[in-house]
Amino acid sequence: MQQLINILIKTLKDRMSKQAIVFLISLMPILELRGGLIASSILSIPYIESLIICVIANFIPIPFILIFLHHILNFLERNRYTKKISLYLKNKANKHKNVLDKYGYLGLLLFVAIPLPGTGAWTGSLVASVLRFDFKKSIIAIFAGILIASIIMSIFSYGILFHIIHK
């Protein structure tokens, strides 16, 4: 992840503002808020400004994913060229079905909140969309997960833990 962030920063730093780079990184699947906070730290953007940019950018695609992704995947599945992509994404979502069936929206919140590879708001939205979770409850769980992830990642990205320990 760090290498990709460095490449994006190096490629974009002469073309857009530091804040726009962080916004773009936070919008991207896989990198999301986690990558945005790391980029913010590298670019020396003040913490609160960075946090606001990253949370907003990470949340923007979520309602669209929840509303449209299920329909898009069904459409893609009807075409022989795109069927594999649709089935891959549906299978990825269904891998988490048992956990989310057991823990429901709390499971969705934790899935988004815990910064591990393969988790995050995009994947959480994919799972919620494919499993046909309630839109409003999913939005709340995913947004809360983003906020928790922002706290966890802030500790690592900005060294808040270091500052707390040494006060």
Which band of pLDDT confidence, cut at 50, 70 and 90, is reported for residue 20?
very high
Q: Say if residue 162's pLDDT is above 80.
A: no
Which residues touch 29 (CB under 8 Å, ≥6 apart)? 120, 122, 123
Q: Say if residue 166's pLDDT is above 70.
A: no
The Cα-based distances of 122 to 42, 63, 125 in angstroms read 24, 10, 5
- DSSP-based three-state secondary structure for 51: helix
**Helix spans in 78-159 (H):** 83-94, 97-113, 121-130, 135-157
Q: Give residue 167's pLDDT.
A: 54
38-81, pLDDT tens digit by residue?
999 899 999 999 999 999 999 999 999 999 999 999 999 999 99
Average pLDDT, the chain: 91
Q: What are the structural domain ranges in the chain?
A: 2-59, 62-153
89-140, pLDDT tens digit by residue?
999 888 888 888 889 999 999 999 998 888 899 999 999 999 999 999 999 9
pTM given for the model:
0.88
What DSSP element (H or E) covers 27?
A: helix 18-27
Q: Say if residue 158's pLDDT is above 80.
A: no
Which residues touch 122 (CB under 8 Å, ≥6 apart)? 29, 30, 32, 61, 65
76-96, pLDDT tens digit by residue?
999 999 999 999 999 988 888
Q: Give residue 160's pLDDT.
A: 65
